[in-house]
């Protein structure tokens, strides 16, 4: 009997993107609406069907294009690729949330998926009720769920809120419970998307430990992450997607090396869509973000010990004006994951109390203490204690090896990520 638990054959997924040529609605008169409707109806009657299908206002987008691979039982597979590469679409098809346009998949075993915060949860139901609901969806009996119930609650750390509707949970509580349910209801295949970014460092470590335990039990784990350190530590093989196509499937370390090389080459691309770097919960208030050098020029390459400024511009638009705008910056290393972060709320920076419809906020870092390497930056916007918008990994920059000590030598890149400026001393004992 074959030990293949997932077989993907020539898988493709097409979406239709509508482009609105003219804004319609409150700015249109009744006459214009009637006229447009008559014109549209007449064109469908008078023009050939084939010509009607070539609608310039509609565009085909292939999120996946002819992807094929196999996954064996007990494999720990990482899926990597830039935003928009097709990772989430692939997971949704594997989880039976959406149907492919072409191709087919064959899955043997019970699948538990955690694709985004609260997937499969009903907001009006309590945490306790959602545990039983999700278990039933996964095909578990009531007795099986009851046997695992205490373990799930202990892992999620939501005992005090177990009988509270989950719509009142914070995003952290939501994802803790969702992951606990997915990982503890004995799936043969566990699929986890980048949702671990919602939790704190302790929770991420806890989740990675649980996934390792699931894999040690001979179960299959599929894990999507932009954190190469987590992929490297957890995954025995890796799938790399690029523009909806399978770019590589094999050794994890080689896949990471290829991904980082391609990602650095693509850092020079002039146009990147903000929507591809924004989670579903975020309101699109951030209009631009940049990395600036000491002369306030946009740059992506800096010497060791450089002064770096992160700039964020926002516009509230139809959203209420911001009374206490908050800017946050989180820096990630290409291999070692999250390194550090800071925000105006944490450091006590206060605005002047006025309401802001739009503004530009700057975070200046003197002598940034990072060794040479490639880095990505998350920028987020809040209003007081409320998080509103974030761009995850949209910004990137590189620190170049530099003879900063004036000795003709540069620090070794394998010495970590922190740049030090020490003061040495020797005291003679004679």
Per the CB < 8 A criterion, the answer to whether 87 and 32 are in contact is no
Class of domain 62-265: alpha beta
CA 123 from chain centre, in angstroms, equals: 23
The DSSP code sequence of 44-57 is HHHS-HHHHH--TT
d(CA 269, CA 175): 34
Both tokens of 320, joined, read 């209420």
Kindly give the pairing relationship between strand 237-242 and strand 220-224: unpaired
CATH number of 282-415: 2.70.50.60
Q: How many CB atoms lie within 10 A of CB 35?
A: 12
Answer whether 61's CB lies under 8 Å from 17's CB: yes
- If we measure between CA atoms, which residue out of 290, 390, 291, 376 comes closest to residue 335? 376
- pLDDT of 1 reads 42
Mention every residue, 6+ apart, whose C-beta is less than 8 A from residue 264. 374, 398
Quick: pLDDT tens for 310-354. 999 999 888 889 988 999 999 988 777 888 999 998 898 888 778
Q: How far apart are CA 118 and CA 174, in angstroms?
A: 6
pLDDT tens sequence across 150-197: 999 988 888 889 999 988 887 778 878 888 887 787 788 988 886 565
What is residue 2's three-state secondary structure?
A: coil
Q: Name the residue among 184, 223, 185 with its Cα closest to residue 204.
A: 223
Residue-averaged pLDDT of the chain: 82
- pLDDT tens digits along 26-44: 555 655 666 666 656 555 5
Region 245-250: mean pLDDT is: 92
Highest mean pLDDT among 66-80, 168-182, 262-276, 348-362: 66-80
Residues 6+ apart with CB under 8 A from 140: 185, 186
Structure tokens at 299: 């740059």
User: Residue 401's CB: how many other CB atoms inside 10 A?
Assistant: 15
* Chain region(s) in the chain for CATH 3.40.50.300: 62-265
With a cut of 80, say whether residue 2 has pLDDT above it.
Answer: no
Q: Which residues, listed in sequence order, are joined to residue 382 by a DSSP beta bridge?
A: 326, 387
- In the chain, residues under CATH classification 2.70.50.60 are 282-415
pLDDT recorded at residue 84: 80
pLDDT at residue number 208 = 78
Beta carbons of 274 and 254 less than 8 angstroms apart: no
Confidence category of residue 120, pLDDT binned at 50, 70, 90: low
Strands (E), 117-206: 189-192
- The per-residue pLDDT for 48 is 53
């Amino acid at each position: 009997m074959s030990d293949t638990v997932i077989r993907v054959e020539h898988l493709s997924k097409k979406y239709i993107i509508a482009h609105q040529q003219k804004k319609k609605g409150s700015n249109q008169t009744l006459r214009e609406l009637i006229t447009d409707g008559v014109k549209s109806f007449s064109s469908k009657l008078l023009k050939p069907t084939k010509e009607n299908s070539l609608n310039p206002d509609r565009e085909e987008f292939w999120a996946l294009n002819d992807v094929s691979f196999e996954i064996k039982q007990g494999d720990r597979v990482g899926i990597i690729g830039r935003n928009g590469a097709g990772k989430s679409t692939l997971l949704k098809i594997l989880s039976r949330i959406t149907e492919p346009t072409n191709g087919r998949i064959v899955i043997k075993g019970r699948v538990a998926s955690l694709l985004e915060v609260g997937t499969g949860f009903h907001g009006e139901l309590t945490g306790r009720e959602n545990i039983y609901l999700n278990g039933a969806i996964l095909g578990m009996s009531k007795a099986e769920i009851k046997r695992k119930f205490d373990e799930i609650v202990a892992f999620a750390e939501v005992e005090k809120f177990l009988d509270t509707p989950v719509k009142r949970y914070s995003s952290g509580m939501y994802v803790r419970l969702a992951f606990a349910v997915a990982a503890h209801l004995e799936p043969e295949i566990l699929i986890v998307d980048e949702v671990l970014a919602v939790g704190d460092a302790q929770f991420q470590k806890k989740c990675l430990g649980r996934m390792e335990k699931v894999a040690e039990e001979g179960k299959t784990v599929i894990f999507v992450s932009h954190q190469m350190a987590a992929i490297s530590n957890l995954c025995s093989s890796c799938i790399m997607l690029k523009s909806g196509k399978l770019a590589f499937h094999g050794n994890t370390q080689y896949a990471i090396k290829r991904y980082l090389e391609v990602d650095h080459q693509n850092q020079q691309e002039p146009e990147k869509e903000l929507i591809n770097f924004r989670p579903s919960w975020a309101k699109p208030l951030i209009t631009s973000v940049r990395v600036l050098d000491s002369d306030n020029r946009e740059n992506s390459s800096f010497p060791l010990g450089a002064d770096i400024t992160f700039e964020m511009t926002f516009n509230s638009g139809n959203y209420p004006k911001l009374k206490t705008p908050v800017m946050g910056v989180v820096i990630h290393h290409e291999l070692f994951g999250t390194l550090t972060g800071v925000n105006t709320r944490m450091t006590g920076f206060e605005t002047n109390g006025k309401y802001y419809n739009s503004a530009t906020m700057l975070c200046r870092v003197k002598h940034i203490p990072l060794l040479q390497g490639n880095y990505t930056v998350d920028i987020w916007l809040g209003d007081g204690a409320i998080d509103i918008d974030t761009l995850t990994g949209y910004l990137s920059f590189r620190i170049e090896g530099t003879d900063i000590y004036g000795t003709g030598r540069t620090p070794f890149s394998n010495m970590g990520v922190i740049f030090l400026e020490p003061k040495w001393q020797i005291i003679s004992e004679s």
